[in-house]
Amino acid sequence: FGASTIQLNKLVPLICKLVSDSNGTVRQQAIDTLVEIYRHVGEKVRGDIAKRDIPEAKLKQLYDKFDDVVASGRMIAKASDTTDDYALVIP
């Protein structure tokens, strides 16, 4: 019981690989997952995925979705921190 911490900087590279999966459902879930992580963590995710081997079109799609989340006011975290390590605390 109690709070748990998920080290997202370990998971994000694996999720990024799934953005190019041959299965469309897997690709969409990977994109949706990265958008949800972005909502909680902020700009650190954008900086991290820029380092990954994501096709330019998919990267643009992700950035557009990130921008939509910010514009809609659905962000949970302040999108300002840019350090490499990040985690999500689950109560």
Q: Say what the pTM is.
A: 0.81
55, 54, 53, 48: which is closest to 82 by C-alpha? 48
pLDDT single digits (tens) 10-66: 899 999 999 999 999 999 999 999 999 999 889 989 999 999 999 999 999 999 999
Burial degree of 70 (CB within 10 A; 0-12, 13-18, 19+): middle
**4 against 13, higher pLDDT:** 13
The answer to the question of residue 46 being in a domain is yes
Please tell me the predicted confidence (pLDDT) of residue 3. 56
**Distance from CA of residue 29 to its chain's centroid?**
11
Give just the sign of the alpha carbon dihedral 36, 64, 43, 27: positive
Measure the N-to-C terminal CA separation of the chain; round to a whole number of Å.
Answer: 9
Number of domains, the chain: 1
The answer to the question of residue 58 being in a domain is yes
The answer to the question of residue 81 being in a domain is yes
**Distance from CA of residue 12 to its chain's centroid?**
7
Please tell me the predicted confidence (pLDDT) of residue 6. 76
Q: Given a cut of 60, is residue 82 above it in pLDDT? A: no
The answer to the question of residue 91 being in a domain is no
Q: What are phi and psi of 84, to 5 degrees?
A: -75, -35
What is the span of the domain harbouring residue 67?
4-86
Q: pLDDT grade, residue 88 (50/70/90)?
A: low
